Structure 1
Amino acid sequence: MEWLFIFTLVGVAFHFRSRLKETEMRLATLEKWRDFNPDRSATEIGDVVTDPGPPIAADPVSVDTPASKAGNSPSSTAYRRLTELRSQSDAAEREEAVLSKHQRFSFARIDFEDIFGRRLAIWAGGIALAISGVLAVRYSIESGLMTPVVRVAFAFLGGATLLAAAEIAHRNQARIADARVPQALAGAGLATLYAAFYLAGTQYGLIGQTFAFLGLAAVTGAAIGLSYRFGVPSAILGLVGGFAAPVLVGGDEANIPLLALYLGLVTGGLCLTGRTQNRAWMGIAALVGGLGWGAVLLLGEGFSTLDVLVLGAYFIVLSSVLPTLVEHDRVARPLRTIAAAIASLQLAVLVAQAGYTPLAWALYLLMGATLAWFAWRRDDIRVALPVAASIGLFLLMLWPDPAPVRFAIVAVGMLAIFTGVPLALLAKERDGVAEQAMIMAVPPTLAVLAYAAFGDFWHDRVEWLLALSTLSLSGPVILGAWLVAGRNEEERLFAALVGVAGALVFAAGLMVTPGWFAPVIAALVIGLWFALRRTDTSMVALLWAGAAIAVVALFVTPHFLDEAPQLVTESDGAPLAKALLRWAAAGVPLLVLCFLEGVVWRRRVAEAGAALLAYGLAAQLLPTDALAWASALAAIALFQARRERAGAIAAWTAIALGWAAAPFGQWLGAALESLVGTPILLFDLPSPVEAALHLLPAVATLAIVRFERFSHGWQSLASHWLALPLGLVVLHIFYRQLFAIETMTRFIDLGMAERTIWQAILLGFGWIAARGAGRFAGDPRAAAALACASLAHFAIYSSWWHNPMTAAQAVGSTPVANLFFTAFAVAIAAGLLLRHWVPERLRPHCNALVMILATLGAIALLRQAFGGSTPHDVPLGQTEDLLRSLIGIVMALAFLWIGSRLGERSWRVGSLAVMLIALVKVFALDAAGLSGLLRIASFAALGASLIGLGWFYTRQLKATATS
């Protein structure tokens, strides 16, 4: 354990290393300034700044008389003098700015010899001596050379010698000329005396614990006194030595009471010293050390009554008393909160380890009372009280199998402490958010914990004792509401307090009534709130609280488990009358809020909640298959009648979309699998009945309902276009029934036809979307999306996964007039129509797409001419391969001609690209495998084509340049 002390001393050295780094940075800044202005030293700059020089004398301004004015130019003498004076003023301001900038670079002279030769050498020597001493003592102990008596004697002698040496050095400052020598000696002596007393009293038992305690207290007092005499270094070493002494000397079994008292004295003395010497860091370090030692002490087991008592007192002091001694503008408040939180947590651990004994609970309540007393006297400590309250309530929740009487005593104590002072502050109008939160949180939390410990939620029993306890817990909350009832500016606080009190009254009512009656009790509580006759603002807030209570009561009671399945499926359900009464009682407060709430977004929330509860009410009556259409028709009807009720409309629309989720997910799963080549068979899709009952309601809702602009300035959402993709899913499900592709054989025979017709249907809907239909205006964006969907369908399925040239798919036996021609014709039509539906900058891309499709279509028709209805089964011949090259050349000439007629460069570029591909194919593939006349013919055709292409392209370029 001595290494902990060594590492601490190394940390001190690291602190001085950081100061050295700071010095180096300052030196680098000074060197940069010297490089910036080598002719001027820092001293000169300071002289210039301090001596601004004589003021600028303003020459009298001569004003021309009317007689002389006639003979002067427009730049008169007065104008020139004003300009000169302004220039001189601007120059003076610039010089002053430069000097002030230079002044920032003026630093004191840095002496590296002083740092390395004097300061660091001394501290390094002190650290080395301390380490050597520790190692020497450790070695002697392990070797048996020093008996306990000798060790203790040498420790006392060494400590006293070091302190005497420090005093001698201090009195001979003139000869030593360095204050750090006595500081280092005093710190080492203090640490040694700490170890000596601890060895003598605890480790070896040479002296009684009383004498050891008095000795440690005396050393602590000496450390405090020497910090006044020797300054900061002595305080640092005293701090380190004080907290490291128990670890340094070791020990098999620690005396927890003595150690806790010792640590309390060390921490308190250092905090008080830091406050007296205006060194906040000392108090902070002491608190950190004390809290750290508290965690170490809790690692033990089998605490006795005395151990619990002393440790509890130690944690109480750390949580409430000592943090008040630390004064700092920025750190004090968060430090007190953190210290209270950690100490409260440590005391809670002690309570748990002690078995939740009355003594342990009394110590925790004493800590809460101490914090409450400080919170009453000092506003800056009030924030620590809710932290202790939260930890205490959490500890109460963890109490296993508590006795009812003990639980009640602890709960009453927490209620008195953690709500008494907040209520007193509320009465004095000194309350803040923390106090208000404690009044509203502690009583209901205690009620919940009491019911969790002794109540029976799952069995509908009458629990009079718990009901009376819960009702009594509403007393502090009602008192708080009464205290703020007269404050005009605290309407929301009043409403919140009354809401919490009502929740407790409601909970008490639940304990003596059947569980299914809970929403009705909530409605009765809300009726009591109306009797208060408060202002509209507080009444609305109370209604929100009541609505929340009613909804929670509906969901958490066991009867909800019987009613919930009715929301999504057929079930036996709960008794109809009870279910209707429960759902209606929960929805009434939200329905009232729809008319009373003035804030738009809150009214929207109330509307949505009322709509959802109305759906739950309807689900208890209607069959499951009618719920999707019921929600859709409700949204449509409300949109037509009162479209400003956007919250309810959105809720019912969301329910309709929720019913569509399952069949849409089934369709989407099959569609995603098809993207990797798996054919969609009929049984992979939802049934037509399911699509009609669950998908069509969502389509109808989205097609009719539109959401107007909200209060945040959102643009209105044209939701009828959102119905398009979902409607296409429904249409696709019904469309697939026409072909009834249930086996792979039917997929080979009808797959190409089914895909081609669906591709044409998508393009047809795009054309309708572009032109508009009825009251729906045309939208080129939707049309372009449908055209792209048609092209994507063709590219993924008919051109990639199920291309008849690479897969078993029937296209028809008639040359040209077959499914190849139809599929590519639809795709080319989609590309041509896209030219009119997309922005001008994208039209060249559409032209390129059309050229690619036309070329591939011609090659596909050639393949069908040689391969028949299923070209995949017939291998590619040499003649067909040559004709492919010829087709490429012909298509390139055709594209060039179209480009010349339309005057569009993209067609001409496309023709060159196709020609280049044809050339590469001829030279790299075709010509390499030919011989004789075929080889000659291929080159002749290629030459003629190239000559014609060049001649034609040259003419086109000249014509374009001329035009």
Structure 2
Amino acid sequence: MLAVLLLVLLGAVLFDTRRRVMALEARIAILEAEAQPLPVPVAPEPVRVVRDSVEVSPPTPTPVVTVRRTPWTEAVVQPKVEPEPEVVNAASIEDVASARPAFGFEELFGRRLPIWAGGVTLAVAGVLLVKYSIDSGLLSPVIRVLLGLIFGAGLIAGAEVALRQEERVRDARVRQSLAGAGLATLYAVILAAANLYHLVGPGTAFVGLAGVTALAMVLSLRFGAPSAMLGLVGGLAAPALAGADEPNIPLLSCYLALTIGGLCALSRTQRWMWLGVGALIGGAGWGSLLLLSGALDLASSLSVGLLILAIGIAFPLFAFSGSRATLIRAASAVVASAQMAALIATGGFALLHWALFGLLSIAFLWLSGREPALRRLMPVGLAVGLLLAGAWPAPAASSFMLVVLGLAMIYGGGALWRLWRPAGGLIEAGQVAGVALGGLAVSVLHFYRGSATDDLRFALIALVASALPAVAVAMGWRNPTRRDDARLALLATSAAILLALAGIFGLAGWTLPLVVGIVAVALLLLAARAGDMRIEYSGWAFAFTAVASLVSGDRGLGELGRLAGLGADAGPAIALLRWSGVALAQMLYAWRARLAEGRLVAQIVATLCAYGAFAQVVPVLWLAPIVALGLPLLAEGACRLPPLRLLPALATLFLLTLLWAAEPLLAWIDPAMLSLLGRPMLVSLLPDRVDMLLRLALPAALIGLAVIRGKQAIGLIGRKLAVIAAGLFGMIALHILYKQAFAIADHAAFVRAGLAERTLWEGLLIMAGWAAWRRFNQREIGLTLVLAGIAHNLLYTLLLHNPFWAAQAVGSVPLFNLLVPAFAIPLIGLWLVGRMAPEPAERCMRYREGAYMVLILLFAFTMLRQLFCGPMLNLPYLSAGEDIGRSVLAIALAISFLLWGIRRGGRDWRIASLLLMLGAVAKVFLLDASGLTGLPRIASFLALGFSLIGIGWLYSRHLRVDARHGRAES
């Protein structure tokens, strides 16, 4: 039976499988019918390549197969067909290889080097021939020299023959090597005749070497660059190789000038820049050697100076052209400046040397006018001239004046003439400023001795020097391009510096801040008139320099100490003038400047300087009120301006007010912090009444007035900070004044009146909070004051100085003592908090009711203690009557809590009642009953029993009512 069932089941499965396969085949057929053929790359056209009649067959293309995409078809990968190798004719390869330029072994060692090696070999051969004749003694020195000259001339003649037979030789290097070997032989023969055989003197040898150099330059025109190279090396080395111990410097300078000039001319005609650059470098080296040779006489100095001028200015100007010529001329001019400076320094700063430097400066001026790219040379020359003038040891006044005036005329006059023309720019403005400032600086360095006469003289010099940039400013005032760069600002700044220096020299030292401040104001006004922000930037530098000079030096430090109430009154009128002048300058910048960030800083600095002016003449006692008085006055003025316009100044005054209040605040905070640890806050530890009034109370009132009068001027955050500060100052001032009224100065007074003082203060806080809430509609302030009163009571009255454990007199009459208000204050305060903030109070209802319970219990037991002990509750003994009274009081309070909880529906009160009752029962059974006998013991048990019965009856009745209400509701 089981087998039959299995067969039936298998047949059903096979039938279902066959049906599914047929459906799948139908679906595949539909998909194949709808499918599109995949794109297959088309084979490229066959290309037939012919290489010298050799046909290269293209590869056989792969047949294109159309592939239809099916559900199982992912990709069709075509087989990669490698191309057949191309057949190329060998003859074509050789032709291509021969067409390319090659630089192989044969080219280098077969065609190029042998010719040059041959020329060198000939020169060596000539030297060896001469050496052989010397060693063997075959020829006399004269014959040897003559044969050497003939050999050198023969080589040069051979070069000429090679040139004339160019069609046969067909290589220019043959004649170049022969000419080079001939020139080298001539140089060697002349040197041997002079230095080895002493046949001729140094002068004759020098003339011979010069002649060979001239011959080399001539031959270079005929045979090429190698001859020029030998002429360059030989011509520059000839003076050293001639062997003269004491050379004729004028003659040597003339030779060097002619040689270097000839080489530079050859460099220009043949366009061999390397030749001209090498000649200039060699000439500069010879100039340095001549300068280091020692003191030069008049003729030598003149010749060396003219050589430096020629090498540095003339030769580079005419020898070079193109894009690199400017760089070469600039470098040559800089080197010439340095060498001319060395000539002046080593020559004792003679006027002749200065005249040569003047010629160099005029050449600079002319060269910069000819090539605008070389304008940067002028500041270099001016800097060198000023440095030399500064390094001039003990110059005569007349000579020094001539030199400085000459520098001013060449550099300053030229720059002034070119300044506002199309070619002028910042370089010329810098020259004008450099001439004016540098001339004054070097003059002060040499001739200022600090006397009154020197002060007046240099004040006039500074005024005259300031005229140069001032004239430059006036010349460019109407120039339409003056706003394109910083020329006007640079000139105005230099004139301002010179005017400030004139004031420093001509006026007393204490006027320095005023002078600089006046110059700063002038620059600000000039910037506004010119519409140039760069001039204002310069003015900012002068403005803050005035502030820095105000507080520098002994006088400045003394006046600065007055701001904090320190230091003596030394010259209050002068100090007032100094501080007020700088304050006015800063106010003008805060009002008229265009730089927004600078205006903010200037407001702050102006406020501080104005306060400093008051501090110089006002007694220290009144500085804090004056600073605070400035807040409402400034706030009143700010109401007529855009919002927050004077906020930096107001914030500065506010900060000064805080700083003046810091001392009484710290004097109050120190005992206040110690009071948190239980130390009494005695009046002797607090600030006196004057400090409290002038630094706290009056500033608090003035801050509040400023908040009222300047709401828009200080903003929302500023108002909040001001209100917090005013409230803090006011509360601390009132607390200090309140402490002064009770005058608790020692521990005995604290025991006697401490509780009364605290209770009254806490009551005043809560009353003030209620008044702020009800009368002035200031809920936040009122809530803060009420919470402060509650916190003060809980911390100081109920925790730190509780009469139970601290020595505090509470009064001798029961119910008419300080305990009633002391415990009523937190109860009333919590009730007021619930009225003032109902929603938060509702969320904290259980905590408030718990606080009520604790306060009631403490008050009840404290009153019981006072009934038995009198005014001092911290006595160490406990009477039997008081002990029984505590039990009875606990039971009474438990019944009261229960009744209140039933009436208000407060479960917490009922639970507290039960806990209190359980505590009372435990106390009666465990403590009270064990110590009583007779009627008292019976009375205690009776009272406890009736109480327990009453409480049980009340609970049962209350629970039945609750159950009935619950059924009705259900």
Normalising by structure 2, report the TM-score. 0.48
Asked which structure has the greater CA Rg, the reply is: 2
Normalising by structure 1, report the TM-score. 0.48
